[in-house]
Amino acid sequence: MPMSLRAFMLISISAFLLTSAGCSSKTKALTLPIGEKVQVGKLSYQVIDANWQAEVAGLKQPPKNRVLQIHITVTNSGAEEISIPMLRLHDAAGNEISEIMEMEGNTRWMGMIRRMQPALTEDGMIYFDVPVGTYKLEVVDNSMADNEQIAFIEIPATLAPPPSLPADKKGI
């Protein structure tokens, strides 16, 4: 093979690999634990708490599994009004589960239509009808269609604090 053809092929393959590596992928997205703030574009997400419920006030139909209740804050750090998208969970097999979208009378629910003014923080609950397990909450800023940004927040299977020792057993 002549040297110029080898050089051309080497440059072409290198360019392909470099541009492929720059593409965003959900599997390469940042993943952080509960409690950490996650900046995704103009939106900043923080999961304050997550717990499993057998029932939740305001559900229009009974859950098929348990209800994962996630207490979340979202901050708009942009200079314009922005929509907070509906969020999804990913299970260990990579399946996506959408938020529960039919509720009424639950004042803590973030709702379906989520518009935020600049420099404001929304605080509320989002809900998922899922079996108890380990999940990743996909958080996203899709305000710019050509530059969607994604990150994940780990949601462990058990979120209960360890049992505390009785006062007479502490320090032994």
Q: Give the pLDDT score at 18.
A: 39
Measured CA to CA, the distance from residue 51 to residue 67 in angstroms comes to: 8
Whether residue 69 lies inside any domain: the answer is: yes
Low-confidence ranges of the chain (pLDDT < 70): 1-27, 159-172
Domain for residue 87, yes or no? Answer: yes
CATH number of residue 141's parent domain: 2.60.40.1240
What pLDDT score does 12 carry? 47
Full-model pTM: 0.75
Closest listed residue to residue 153, CA positions, set 68, 82, 73, 89:
89
Domain interval for residue 32: 25-158
pLDDT at 29: 85
Q: What's residue 160's pLDDT?
A: 54
pLDDT at 166: 57
Phi-psi region of 163 (alpha: psi -120 to 50; beta: other; left: phi over 0): beta
Which residue's entry shows tokens 């952080």? Answer: 32
CA distances from 140 to 39, 106, 135, 144, 151 (A): 9, 24, 16, 11, 7
Domain annotation covers residue 72? yes
Would you state the pLDDT for residue 7? 46
In a domain, 1, yes or no: no
Q: Does residue 167 form part of some domain?
A: no
Count of structural domains within the chain: 1
Cβ atoms of residues 48 and 72 within 8 Å: yes
